[in-house]
Structure 1
């Protein structure tokens, strides 16, 4: 959908939608548009790495739920919790997906630090990245050609953490 959005509505990120009065709907749709091919490529590469990297530690059903939940959550987050005036791209959803999958991987991997240390390094890296973004202020990234929405990154990671907890609790609950 992101590739189609890039070619069918290339000016969407700059113009937005004048047809609706809902930033939630705008943000939901804007996740499938990007500032250019570099921005699209980075987001799709991140999605590919997430799809492949955590595939052994989550079910296909969980992955589908995580992906759909990430899009809706990020649109809600940037519309209601940390409101933005403008947003496009998948970076918030990718942070959601990464945090959820990382939490699942940490709890589903063998309880052996020798084998799970890479997951802990990823968790520390995500936390450090979010802390650095929190203190850096807004700026335009020359590679993607536009502003970086740190709010979406924070909101995505927070939502992914919540989603991961919900998935883990559901798996531990009684089965029918």
Structure 2
């Protein structure tokens, strides 16, 4: 029998993220919120953050909502509403800044996928620190996927589905952010094992 994290404190945060992203898609305000390098350089700094929550189209949103649900299934019980909000907000800022600083060829960018790569890396580290061997498999698997994306480039099929180029460098930035968020977990894990 599946032991799903169905308590409200585990369900509410990812559900809010799905509702927020869906509401923004329904409003159709991408032009006001997307990562637009030219407008950011003119001072519209909110786009570094808000771009993570808008999507190229409904298929793009659907893929990211599926990712939110998958991460909830894997790691929902690890986060409180405050921890979930902190991780999402921190990674959203990190990814926006990372794309701005390290991906000069990206002029327009939207979507949660970079943030979700960070969240799943953080969850894999948490798995490892609570003694789940599957955390190692997940951690390594995500990095293998990221390396494959760096070598082979973005998926043309996914790009066609979302009517946009998949920002594989943003995925890498998100995963690095998730690993950095996991550093306190690793430090605590190491110090606990030394006792």
Q: TM-score, normalised by structure 2?
A: 0.73
4+ residue segments displaced more than 4 Å: 13-20, 170-173
SS of the residue corresponding to residue 109 of structure 2 reads coil
Q: How does 1:30-109 map to 2 (within 5 A)?
A: 30-83=51-104, 84-109=106-131
Residues 1:54 and 1:143: Cα distance change in structure 2 (over 3 Å): same
Q: Which has the higher helix share?
A: 2
Residues 1:65 and 1:11: Cα distance change in structure 2 (over 3 Å): closer
What is the root-mean-square deviation of aligned Cα atoms in Å? 2.8
Number of aligned residues: 167
Q: CA deviation at 1:82?
A: 3.1
Residues 1:54 and 1:26: Cα distance change in structure 2 (over 3 Å): same
Q: TM-score, normalised by structure 1?
A: 0.80
Residues 1:123 and 1:41: Cα distance change in structure 2 (over 3 Å): same
SS of the residue corresponding to residue 46 of structure 2 reads helix
Write the deviation string for residues 63-109 of structure 1: whole angstroms up to 9, x where unpaired: 22211111111111111133332210000000111111111111122
Residues 1:120 and 1:79: Cα distance change in structure 2 (over 3 Å): same
1: CA distance, partners of 2:149 / 2:37: 28
Q: Which has the higher contact order (CA 8 A, sep 6+)?
A: 1
2: CA distance, partners of 1:77 / 1:138: 18
2: CA distance, partners of 1:26 / 1:104: 30
Structure 1 residue corresponding to 2:46, chosen from 25, 34, 38 = 25
Counterpart of 1:131 in structure 2 is: 147
- Unmatched runs of 5 consecutive residues or more in structure 2: 1-19
Q: CA deviation at 1:137?
A: 2.8
